[in-house]
Amino acid sequence: MMVTMLRNRWKPERIRYLFSERNEKGHPNAEPLAATQHAGVVPKSLLDFKTMEAVTSDLGIFKLVEPGDFVISLRSFEGGLEYSAYRGILSPAYTVLRPSANVYAGFFKHLLKSDWFVQGLAKHKKGIRDGQAVPFATLQDDYLGVPPREEQERIANFLDEKTTRIDALISEKEALLVSLNEHQYSYASHLICRGMEPGATLQTTSFPEISEIPKHWSVKRLKFLGEVRSGIAKGKDHGEKDTVHLPYLRMANVQDGYVDLTEVLEIEVGTHEVERFLLKRGDVLMNEGGDNDKLGRGTVWQGQIEPCVHQNHVFAVRLFDTSLAEWVARFTSTDAARTYFFLRSKQSTNLASINQTNVRELPIPMPPEKEREAILDEVRRSASATEQLIAHVREHIDRLREYRSSIISAAVTGQLDINAYQASGEVAVV
């Protein structure tokens, strides 16, 4: 691993002369650390509890990490080496590297996370899938092109300033994505629950979640619009009865506003039960559980797979009038529906769930047919326009990330003369 040509004063150095392995143990009272791809090596206390590793009772076998050290983690094959600004202890599964005197940490923080360096790690990884390690025993014999320490510092300062600006732009774009989604969600919720006429006369309803609707609208419970059907339970014992294997929808397949068919599994169904659990075009799919914002989320089944059944954690609403399918499905994504399901959900440690009765009793605002179709047309139009804006912003974010990656790789491999680059002025990227 080394650039084919080195800039003036850059020298090829074996990694073994830049870093040595630190294998100090016996510090059980030191701060437990974790190696992360997004923040480097940080105290576990700063991480969300769900991401923390289980800690063995024998902390004395953990490896000491000093500020300025680098770490080879079990994910380094895809994200590079991690830098630590903290003193603490780390799992013995990791390799801790102590930098030599001619290593400027700020420069190597960029180099050892660069795409160029990560690609070079591929030949060293051992193991399969998530357990692919990068042994220092083989990595240490690779070469890196290393500039003098003072130039390392100049390049690091340049990249720090540059990446900070790019990261700020990316954060702004990501915040814009959140705002666009929130605006579309609020706009659609308002249209479906209040209509399109700003000055419409409103009436108070007896349903707290739908406090007011236009005076000429009505509210109907879902049980009066269709049949709420439960699905087949996984692992059911069919005894000696005849069975068939059919594709079935799980909660993971039913997303907010669409069906994800990336992975569709099969389930064993008794032949006498197929008709009972079979999905039909126009059924409204609704999830039984998940995070609070996913309760009752729905979409319309368009018969993408035939035949297809559904699991008992996915409700299928078979409407008496299938022309109402999109209206009912879109209503499940409104503030009113989400509030209704949340207030009636059964909460557990990590998940919430609703039952068939909750779904049957769901109140749904009902405008006249022509007005309903006009509202749906406007919801579709605004959703399409928002999706186009979101796609444009995401494309911009991708370009910024590509630019960030390319300028780091170019600078740490000597392909970019930062003095000439700064003197010539920057090419605008936004």
Label each residue of the chain as H, E or C.
CCCCCCCCCCEEEEHHHHEEEECCCCCCCCCEEEEECCCEEEEHHHCCHHHCCCCCCCHHHCEEECCCCEEECCCHHHHCCEEECCCEEECCCCEEEEECCCCCHHHHHHHCCCHHHHHHHCCCCECCHHHCECCHHHHCCCEEEECCHHHHHHHHHHHHHHHHHHHHHHHHHHHHHHHHHHHHHHHHHHHHHHCCCCCCCEEECCCCCCCEEECCCEEEEHHHCEEEECCECCCCCCCCCCEEEEEEECHHHEECCEECCCCCEEEEEEHHHHHHHECCCCCEEEECEECHHHCCCEEECCCCCCCCEEECCEEEEEECCHHHHHHHHHHCCCHHHHHHHHHHCEECCCCEECCHHHHHCCEEEECCHHHHHHHHHHHHHHHHHHHHHHHHHHHHHHHHHHHHHHHHHHHHCCCCCHHHHHHHCCCCCC
Residue 199's pLDDT is 85
CATH topology of domain 217-366: Adenine-n6-DNA-methyltransferase TaqI; Chain A, domain 2 (3.90.220)
Residue 256's pLDDT is 87
Q: Which two tokens stand for residue 394?
A: 């995401």
CA distance 69 to 10: 23
From first to last of the 430 residues of the chain, give the pLDDT tens digit: 555 456 678 999 999 999 999 999 999 999 999 999 889 999 998 886 544 455 556 888 999 999 999 999 988 988 999 999 999 999 999 999 999 999 999 999 999 999 999 999 888 877 655 556 789 999 999 999 999 999 999 999 999 999 999 999 999 999 999 999 999 999 999 999 999 998 899 999 999 999 899 999 999 999 999 999 999 988 777 665 788 999 999 999 999 889 999 999 999 998 888 999 999 999 999 998 877 777 888 899 999 999 999 999 999 999 999 999 999 999 999 999 999 999 998 887 778 888 999 999 999 999 999 999 999 999 999 999 999 999 999 999 999 999 999 999 999 999 888 877 766 655 433 3
> How buried is residue 376: exposed, middle or buried, by Cβ count under 10 Å (0-12/13-18/19+)?
middle
Dihedral sign computed on CA atoms, order 99, 103, 107, 113: negative
- Do residues 232 and 312 lie in contact, with contact meaning Cβ atoms separated by under 8 Å? yes
11-147 CATH pick, 3.40.50.1980, 3.40.50.620, 3.90.220.20, 2.60.40.10: 3.90.220.20
Single-letter amino acid, residue 293: D
Single-letter amino acid, residue 272: H
Residue 52's pLDDT is 45
Q: What distance lies between CA 32 and its chain's CA centroid? A: 27
Strands 352-353 and 289-290: antiparallel
Residue 297's pLDDT is 82
* CATH 3.90.220.20 segments of the chain: 11-147, 217-366
CA distance 35 to 43: 9
pTM above 0.75, yes or no: yes
Strands 19-22 and 95-99: antiparallel
Q: Which two tokens stand for residue 344?
A: 């009636």
The CATH number of 148-195+368-430 is 1.10.287
Q: Which residue matches tokens 């419970």?
A: 221
Q: How far is CA 210 from CA 237, 245, 252, in A?
A: 43, 42, 29
* CATH 1.10.287 segments of the chain: 148-195+368-430
Strands 243-249 and 309-310: parallel
